[in-house]
Amino acid sequence: MTSQEIVEEFQQLEQKLGTLRTRAEEEESTLSQLEGQVHELSEKSVRTRREAAELESLLMQKRAEFIRAEYDVAFQAREQAAARLAEAISQALAEIDIYDRAQQALAALGGGQDAHDAQAEPEVVTTSWERLVNAVQQRITEQHENELVEIASRSMSPAAIRELPEHLRDAARARIRARRRSRFPRSA
**What pLDDT, in 10s, does the model give residues 53-74?**
999 999 999 999 999 999 999 9
Report percent pLDDT > 90 for the chain. 56
Kindly report the average pLDDT of the chain as a whole number: 89
What is the rounded average pLDDT of the residues 110-129? Answer: 75
Per-residue model confidence (pLDDT) at position 113: 57
Residues in the chain: 188
12-30 pLDDT, tens per residue?
Answer: 989 998 998 999 899 899 9
| Interatomic CA distance for residues 188 and 183, integer angstroms | 15
Q: Percentage of the chain surpassing pLDDT 70?
A: 93
| Alpha carbons 52 and 79: distance in angstroms, whole number | 40
Region 68-95: mean pLDDT is 96
Tell me the C-alpha distance between 187 and 94, whole Å: 55
Helix, coil or strand: residue 111: coil
Q: Taking the mean position of all CA atoms in its chain, how far away is CA 5? A: 87
The whole-angstrom distance between residue 12's C-alpha and the CA centroid of its chain comes to 78
Is the pLDDT at 52 greater than 70? The verdict is yes
